[in-house]
Amino acid sequence: MENRNLKAGLAALQEEDYHEAIAQLEFVCNTELHLATIYRAQMGLVTAYAGIDDLQKALELCQNLTTSKSSQAREWANRQLPGLAQLYADRLEAAQKSKRKSPQQWAIHLLVRLIQRYPQTLVYPYKIYHIFTRISQKVVQGYQFINNQAESLIYKLFDMMHLDLGKMPDRDKSKLQNRD
């Protein structure tokens, strides 16, 4: 039994009613359990997003489909991706040509060239950013842990050596006394 929302979404797509197609196909992707139906809806969404010039969403979804379990969806996505990447690059280049080149426009220019040469790697910078964010969070947590451990060890050393806290400067004494 075919999903009626999928049918409605694909029909809206054929009529170039992209907003209705997106609404129906996103509903299918969020509620359907059958993978083949989900892949068909995602393929339709790529086309619908491209139809409303949301090329970033279209490219991201198409990139995800290139690694799907369905060989039909993978093959379709691999055929679509270079065209979408070229369209995206053309739009970026047109925006870049309309103004004098600022540092941001040079970056766009370089991004356009990268996309044209390697359309499959479009999503990697996003993933790399998140990896570096997680690494920096872990480094900060590690630094805080080491700092806390060092202060605790210093206090224990003073305690073990039976040092008189009265001979320490006030600022250091208050830190050590607060560690109890």
Distance CA 62, CA 80 (A): 7
Continuous H helices in 52-169 = 55-65, 71-97, 103-117, 124-160
SS3 178: coil
Q: Give the pLDDT confidence score for residue 56 in this predicted structure.
A: 87
Residue range of the domain that includes 137: 130-177
Q: Give the pLDDT confidence score for residue 125 in this predicted structure.
A: 61
Whether residue 92 is found in the same domain as residue 32: yes
Q: Give the pLDDT confidence score for residue 18 in this predicted structure.
A: 93
Whether residue 97 is found in the same domain as residue 140: no
Q: Note the pLDDT tens digit of each residue in 53-90.
A: 888 899 899 989 999 999 999 999 999 988 888 888 88
Averaged over 41-64, what is the pLDDT?
Answer: 92
What's the start-to-end Cα distance of the chain, in Å? Answer: 69
Whether residue 21 is found in the same domain as residue 78: yes
pTM of the model: 0.55
Averaged over 144-154, what is the pLDDT?
Answer: 76
Whether residue 165 is found in the same domain as residue 94: no
Whether residue 111 is found in the same domain as residue 23: yes
**pLDDT greater than 70 at residue 24:** yes
Distance CA 129, CA 141 (A): 18
Q: Give the pLDDT confidence score for residue 169 in this predicted structure.
A: 53
The last residue of one of the domains, among 102, 122, 142, is: 122
Whether residue 115 is found in the same domain as residue 172: no
Specify whether the CB–CB gap between 120 and 81 falls below 8 A.
Answer: yes
Whether residue 151 is found in the same domain as residue 80: no
Whether residue 101 is found in the same domain as residue 144: no
Q: Give the pLDDT confidence score for residue 154 in this predicted structure.
A: 73
Whether residue 103 is found in the same domain as residue 159: no
Q: Give the pLDDT confidence score for residue 137 in this predicted structure.
A: 77
Q: 179, 132, 128: which is closest to 157 by C-alpha?
A: 179
Domain count for the chain: 2
Q: Give the pLDDT confidence score for residue 152 in this predicted structure.
A: 77
Whether residue 8 is found in the same domain as residue 93: yes
